[in-house]
Chains A and B, each alone.
Chain A
C-alpha cells in the first residue's frame, strides 16, 4: 500500500526558512505530480506547488518568490522550502500525489497526514 510520510520542523521564528520533506513508500515515484498544499488555521486549502518526476516545478504565483520544491529520485522523496516566513505562513502543510487521467487533468489521490508549522517570535 502506497503511503506518504512527511516530516519537518514545526516551530519557526519570523524570517527563518520552512523545510519539509515527504517520502513515498510502497509505490512508484515516476509518472506522478508531487504536490504541496497548506491550510492556515480556520481557512481553506491552498495549493503551494508541484513537481513532476522529471519536470520543472510549478508554483502558486503568490508564493513563487519564496518557495522551492525539489525532488530526490534516489530516495523517493520531495521537499518544500519556504524562505522568510511570517505568521501568515502558519498552517497545516500536506504533501500529496497527483495522478493524471488519460494525460489530461490530474487529481490528488493520496495525501500525507499533514505537518503543523507555526511561525512565532
Chain B
C-alpha cells in the first residue's frame, strides 16, 4: 500500500505569514493528490485536487504544487479562519490513503 507522510505534524504561525506543508508519497502517484482542511466539529473540506486545482470557492491564498512523490500546500497569507488540520490524500492506488495531518495554529 502507498504511504503518505506529512510534515510538519504541527506548526504555529502569525497572521499574514506564509505557511508551507509538505506531503511525500512512498512511490510515485503522478498528480493524484488531494488536500483537505479539517476544522473541529465539522467534516473535512476539499481544498485542492489533482495536486494544484483549487476547488471553486476556496480562497486564492491556498495553492498546491508537486508531482510524483513530493507535494506542497501553501497558504500565502495566513488568516484566523485557517486554523485547522490539513490532510493530503492520494488516489493513485485503489486503496486510498491520507497523510497523518498538519495542525496549523495561530501565534
Binding site for B on A (CB under 8 A): 35, 37, 44-47, 50, 58-61, 94, 96, 98, 101, 104-109, 111-114
Contacts and interface: CB of A to CB of B under 8 A. Distances in A.
Contacts of B99: 44
Interface of B: 1, 30-32, 34, 36, 38, 43-46, 49-50, 53, 55, 85, 87, 89, 91-92, 94-101
Given A44-B98, A107-B91, A114-B43, 16 more contacts: A44-B101, A45-B36, A45-B38, A45-B87, A45-B98, A45-B101, A47-B97, A50-B96, A101-B50, A104-B32, A105-B30, A105-B92, A107-B49, A109-B55, A111-B44, A111-B45
Given A44-B87, A111-B43, A105 B49 contact: yes
Q: Interface residues of B: mostly helix, strand, loop or mixed?
A: loop
A112 B43 CA distance: 7
B96 A47 contact: yes
A45 B90 CA distance: 13
Contacts of B49: 101, 105, 107
Nearest to A45: B98
B101 A105 contact: no
Contacts of A108: 34, 36, 44, 46, 89
18 contacts: A44-B100, A45-B44, A45-B98, A47-B95, A47-B96, A59-B95, A60-B95, A61-B1, A61-B95, A94-B43, A96-B43, A98-B91, A105-B32, A105-B50, A105-B91, A107-B34, A107-B89, A112-B43
